[in-house]
Amino acid sequence: MKVILITGASSGIGYTAAKLLAQQGNQVYGAARRAEKLAAIKEFGAIPVSLDVTDEASVQAAVKQVIDQAGRIDVLINNAGYGSYGPVEAVPLNEAKYQFDVNVFGVASVTKAVLPTMRQQHSGLIINISSVGGRVTSHFGDWYHASKYAVEALSDALRLELKEFGINVSIIEPGGIKSEWGGIAADHLEKAGQGTAYAAQTKKSATALRKQFSNPMMVADPSTIAKTVAKAVKSSRPKPRYLPGMVAKSMVCLHTILPTRWFDRIMLMAN
């Protein structure tokens, strides 16, 4: 049994991973900003924790709760995330900063809070749920991709500096997931473009985004990602990166082998 703290556990990947890990016999603490949304995780034995990753006091209180109750933290899964699309020129900077607060500084804040305990144990695993969007950039995803690229770099640096303390760092890079995220991102994109020079382009891209997330061939079920998370948790030597799903693998492969202008053309055609 491992003691696991997972953020963003009220829905999607976080909820599904919390359920699977608890059913496998781990002591799972599922965290989310709105505690009332965590009632369902009690059904499979997970323990709800109120946690806003953008609030330092909330982070410290949540980690203290886990340590006080369980005495240790073996695995931290940084899953909480926020996605908002729109042209750089049209997206207010406070919106861009909030995306970084959740996706980057939130990851750093929770990680910093658990590290003293993991160093004392001389063991631990940090799993950062990034995205294929941290390797490949799509149309009008500017700030979202920037935040996920930052998570990739942060994770790579952490992996190097924590090795001597017996702490592993893994990144999981899903592609599209069956969830409300695609529709919400499309709505944000279309709204951001309204009344701007990008209105026609953003409307077209929003329509393509909705189609992508409604196509079962283009999106993976959250259970696929949850199984990848569980695989990393159980591994005695977790991989630095996991790229689940054929769509994600194909995109990264094309991005790697094709000249940049060719790949740009493919991405523009898809939108």
Q: How many CB atoms lie within 10 A of CB 28?
A: 27
The alpha carbons of the chain give a radius of gyration, in whole angstroms, of 18
Terminal CA-CA length for the chain: 46
pLDDT-wise least confident of 83-92, 231-240, 244-253: 244-253
Residue 13: helix, strand or coil by DSSP? helix
Please state whether 39 falls in left (phi above 0), alpha (psi between -120 and 50) or beta: alpha
- Strand order of the β-sheet with 124-129 is 47-50, 27-32, 3-6, 75-78, 124-129, 167-172, 241-242
List, in sequence order, the alpha helices (H) in the chain.
12-23, 56-70, 93-100, 106-121, 142-162, 181-193, 199-214, 222-234, 246-257, 260-270
User: 153, exposed or middle or buried, with CB in 10 Å at 0-12, 13-18, 19+?
Assistant: exposed
Query: Residue 251: its pLDDT value, please?
Result: 83
**What is the spatial distance between Cα 118 and Cα 162, in angstroms, rounded to a whole number?**
10
Nearest to 138 by CA among 59, 207, 60, 205: 205
pTM of model > 0.75: yes
Residue 81 has φ and ψ, to the nearest 5°, of -155, 165
Q: What is the pLDDT of residues 121-133, one digit of tens each?
A: 999 999 999 998 8
Q: Which residues are catalytic?
A: 144
Q: What is the pLDDT of residues 46-89, one digit of tens each?
A: 999 999 999 999 999 999 999 999 999 999 999 998 888 888 89
Report all structural domains of the chain as residue ranges with CATH numbers, in order of start.
Answer: 3-180+220-245 (3.40.50.720)
pLDDT at 6 exceeding the cut of 70: yes
Taking a C-beta distance cutoff of 8 angstroms, is the pair 196, 87 a contact? yes
